[in-house]
Amino acid sequence: MRLVRNFPLPIAAVALGLLLTSTPARAGGSDEALSLVPADAISVGVVHFDSLRASALAGKLFAETDEMTVDGEAARFLNETGLRPKQDVDLLAFAALASPNGRPGSDALVIFEGRFDVARLEAAMIARGGVRKETPSGSYLLVGGRQSPGNPAAIAFVGRRIAVAGRPALVGRALEDHAAGGTGFLRGEGLGRQMHRVPAAASAWAIVDATRAPFATRGSGNNHGGDAADALVGAMKSITLFVFHATARGDAVELSATGLSPDEETRALLEDALRGVVAMWRLAIHEKAPEMVPILRRFDIERDGEGVSITGTLPGSFVRKLVEEGDRRAHR
């Protein structure tokens, strides 16, 4: 969670987990939050914390906020504002955009949905050096941090349910979009036209325009996975869209990843390469994690006229084991 730690404290407290993963109206999100997603976003993702609170993953998701409650300054901020991240933040939406320097995906807008005491949050931020900036569409706070004093972040509250964070220019744009009734994302503009690919019950999802944020722009010279992995990397260079979604079912997690390509030969190559990589994984983990072998064997790989999908379920017992092992490593 490096990004959270590099954010100024108030934003970190509100943000609570910008990179917790690794992440259509309740077809994976809230209308109110997604109405602020820029239609020109290169990638969009959503995490439903409200649907994950009962999962074995919840401890991992909210580990950072647990640390805040014992950190002196962070604890004081939470106490002053009455913010309870575990209970008060329901959803995070993340949109990556091309930055002013032209690098794809290096600029981001983050939208949080929950229950916020705006007056107390803004007062606490201003007491810590935050500066209010007024725009014709509303105000936001500039919050400088020790990590980047010359490059402050901005945060704005759109009512009591929505908080928006990012570069000042992006937050100002979000305020303009809100005043205008929202962006065109929910009307099917940009990646919004792909939202039908996300199940309504998804706990987390991401859609990536791979033509603007390519997955495999470099060769696989350092890849030790053999021909199958090389073939997969090669096929992914021709993917035009990537869709991922995960759905918590108790402690179990259903996973799905789809790569789309208009070219039939590319789809066939991608299917073959993916089957080869999964087979290679089963062989590689046979001794170290034998319980994973039957899990991988039950993953399905399918190809249709649009792309190739891999779907499967991580059983609750396996998810709990992963969480426990992660906790042990963290406390060594």
Q: Assess whether pLDDT exceeds 90 at residue 228.
A: no
Q: Using CA atoms, how far apart are residues 235 and 82, in angstroms rounded to an integer?
A: 50
Residue 188 confidence (pLDDT) = 95
Residue 246 confidence (pLDDT) = 94
Contact 95, 37 (CB under 8 A): yes
Q: Where are the domains of the chain?
A: 2-187, 214-330
Contact 141, 125 (CB under 8 A): yes
pLDDT tens readout for residues 88-120 = 889 999 999 987 665 655 689 999 999 999 999
Per-residue confidence at 205, pLDDT binned at 50, 70, 90? very high
Q: Among 1-10, 25-34, 180-189, 205-214, which stretch is predicted with the lowest mean pLDDT?
A: 1-10
Q: Which of 31, 33, 24, 36 is nearest to 177 (CA)?
A: 36
Q: Using CA atoms, how far apart are residues 244 and 206, in angstroms rounded to an integer?
A: 5
The more confidently predicted of residues 72 and 190 is 190
Which helix or strand (DSSP H or E) is residue 5 part of?
helix 2-6
Q: Which amino acid is at 110?
A: V
Q: Among 33-37, 48-52, 150-154, which stretch is predicted with the lowest mean pLDDT?
A: 150-154
Per-residue confidence at 264, pLDDT binned at 50, 70, 90? very high
Q: Which two tokens stand for residue 169?
A: 């220019």
Per-residue confidence at 159, pLDDT binned at 50, 70, 90? confident
Q: Which residues contact 42 (CB under 8 A, 6 or more apart)?
A: 96, 97, 98, 104, 105, 208, 209, 212, 213
Angle at 250 between CA 247 and CA 251, to 5 degrees: 90
Residue 287 confidence (pLDDT) = 82
Residue 318 confidence (pLDDT) = 86
Residue 332 confidence (pLDDT) = 64
Cα 139 to Cα 98, 113, 134, 290, distances in angstroms: 24, 18, 4, 55
